[in-house]
Amino acid sequence: MRLWTVHPQYLDAKGLTAAWREALLAQKVLSGATAGYRFHPQLIRFRSHPQPLQAVGAFLASLADEAEHRDYRFDKTKILYPNIAEEIEETEEQLIFEWAHLLQKLQKRAPILHRRHYEIIKPESHPLFRIVPGEIRKWEKR
């Protein structure tokens, strides 16, 4: 499961679709609708939000907006709480770490996108996140 800190505009088609599926799974976990993945580290920042379901809903809504921008059809009715949520603070080093990880994926499966983005040092973040100074999160798998 990867709930990207980077803005969905940078994801290739496979990445955007995977992010949608994984965020829907996160929503199920946070709502208690499934027993699996309950302790997945990617859920820590959503669980620490005052309104976890609203936070994952806002995350999903941004993915759906990006999909719509690309003429894809993600079913927004699957989002339990599609409204705006209070931002989640995320660290600059976490964003940079994920950016490097995404660039490696794009190099293999979407070389055109990789060439378009590889010179970006600090990408935009997903709208749910407010970037603050700090290190890579302890929950991140390296």
140 alpha-carbon distance from chain centroid: 14
In a domain, 101, yes or no: yes
In a domain, 33, yes or no: yes
Is residue 79 a part of any domain in this protein?
yes
pLDDT value, residue 39: 82
Say if CB 96 and CB 133 are below 8 A apart: no
Domain that holds residue 21: 8-132
Q: Give tens-digit pLDDT for 31-49.
A: 999 888 888 899 999 999 9
1 inside domain: no
Q: Is residue 139 part of a domain?
A: no
Instruction: Kindly state whether residue 3 falls inside one of the protein's structural domains.
Output: no
Residue 31's pLDDT is: 95
Asked if the structure places residue 78 within a domain, the reply is yes
> How many structural domains comprise the chain?
1
pLDDT one-digit tens code per residue, 63-108: 999 999 999 999 999 999 988 889 999 999 999 999 999 999 999 9
The whole-number pLDDT of residue 80 equals 96
Output the pTM of the full model: 0.94
Q: How far apart are CA 89 and CA 124, in angstroms?
A: 14
Render the burial of 46-73: b for 16+ CB within 10 Å, e for the rest.
Answer: beebeebbbbbbbbbbbbbebbeeeeee
CA distances from 34 to 24, 61, 81, 94, 125 (A): 11, 21, 18, 28, 29
- The encoded tokens of residue 46 equal 């959503």
Tell me the pLDDT tens digit for each residue of 47-61.
999 999 999 999 999
